[in-house]
Chains A and B, each alone.
Chain A
Amino acid sequence: MTINPIGLAVALAAFLGIWLGHVSVRAVEFHAADLRPPALAYILSGLSLLAVSLASSGFLLSGTAGILGMTLLWDALELARQQKRVARGHAPANPANPRHARLLASHPEATTLDRLARAPRGRPYSQDELAAEKGRKP
């Protein structure tokens, strides 16, 4: 029986594409004062990979480039979604970033705390516990 490398190659492309996007979108959105240049960089690199995908004759190269290209285009959208998470306090704000400083001033839910960085405890937080957390400094 011959081993078909396609499935494994695209599985790796998908996993690494999601991972890279997940980590880079959070880091870039945290530090960038203006989201337009990084969004443009995601779009241009995504489109370049899609061009490679279109021009490749083999399924393996076309497929991996197609997956990475599409996930990079998605990452451009995720920058905007990440900014919304920061505004809602679902992701930490960076007070040294002027864009985040404005979000902290205009959105009462925004916080510098990384509220997901905790172990699950198996029961929900009460309103009192959540209110006490809001006043806490990181």
Chain B
Amino acid sequence: MNWSGILLGAATLLIIGLGFVWVIRGERYLGLLWWPYVLGAGLLLALLACFVQEEWLSALLGVFGASLAWGSTELRDQAVRAELGWFPFRAEKILPPGAEIIRRWRAPRL
């Protein structure tokens, strides 16, 4: 019996759970305009995972990358949830570099 897959699945649920926390906090303090950076970081981690030979480290990097990529698509909805009063709203955001350009892009929503 090989328990590594079930352990990895459990670790994935924890990493997704962490995603709930950072999407909520990240949107509140930083704002949804960070989404291209979060998406880029996620894709970079998944790419980096291809060059890591140790299987557990590679797998965890991959899952964390996937979770970042997914979270980048959640920031837009989270911004609306805060505006609707479902989560605390904070008007002052720490804007990312290139915020004015990103503002013209359509944030992904899956």
Contact = CB atoms under 8 A, between A and B. Distances in A.
A31 B49 CA distance: 39
Q: Is the interface of B mostly helix, strand, loop or mixed?
A: helix
A4 B83 contact: no
A123 interface: yes
B33 to A, nearest CB: 10
Interface stretch (A34-42, A49-57, A93-101): A49-57
B18 interface: no
A contacts with B: majority SS? helix
Contacts, number: 157
A14 B6 contact: no
B3 A54 contact: yes
B63 A14 contact: yes
Interface residues of B, number: 49
A58 to B, nearest CB: 8
A11 B8 CA distance: 11
B85 A124 contact: yes
A44 interface: no
Interface of A: 1-15, 17-19, 22-23, 50, 53-57, 59, 61-71, 74, 90, 115-116, 118-125, 130
